[in-house]
């Protein structure tokens, strides 16, 4: 099973079971490393079969781990609003890796033509 299929299946199971995925501060992935201490490579993200939904989820898990208050119905339904404490994305206490990785993922989303 490919990494992207495994990740999609794992995240789908969490959502279907009603598990709170919003409490983790960092997510780690075998192929890419951890969002808070490794630099994600855009070509790896582009070429390893991650679809738009998975990219969206990985990027937003960085934010939700720091208490971001999502504005869109899509993000609120995926990540909830219970741990929401910061309304300004720029005010999140992200370290340099998290900022860079979120920006890299967003760049890959744009390159793939993913909806925002």
What is the C-alpha to C-alpha distance for residues 59 and 55, in angstroms, rounded to an integer? 6
List the beta bridge partners of residue 77: none
The DSSP 8-state label assigned to residue 41 in this structure reads P
Sign of dihedral through CA atoms 59, 92, 15, 113? negative
Give phi and psi for 29, each to the nearest 5: -130, 135
Contact status, residue 36 vs residue 97, Cβ threshold 8 Å: yes
Contact status, residue 28 vs residue 74, Cβ threshold 8 Å: no
For residue 54, the model assigns a pLDDT of 94
For residue 25, the model assigns a pLDDT of 58
For residue 72, the model assigns a pLDDT of 94
10-residue stretch averages of pLDDT, the chain, 116 residues long: 47 44 65 92 91 95 95 94 92 96 97 92
What is the C-alpha to C-alpha distance for residues 8 and 114, in angstroms, rounded to an integer? 16
């Amino acid at each position: 099973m490919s990494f992207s299929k495994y990740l999609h299946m794992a995240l789908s199971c969490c959502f279907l079971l009603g598990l709170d995925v919003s409490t983790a501060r960092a997510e780690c992935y075998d192929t890419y490393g951890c969002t808070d201490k490794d630099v994600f490579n855009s070509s790896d993200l582009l070429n390893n079969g991650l679809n738009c939904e998975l990219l969206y989820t990985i990027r937003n898990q960085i934010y939700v781990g720091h208490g971001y208050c999502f504005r869109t119905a899509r993000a609120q339904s995926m990540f909830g609003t219970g741990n929401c404490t910061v309304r300004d994305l720029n005010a999140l206490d992200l370290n340099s890796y998290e900022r860079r990785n979120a920006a890299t993922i967003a760049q890959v989303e744009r390159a793939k033509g993913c909806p925002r």
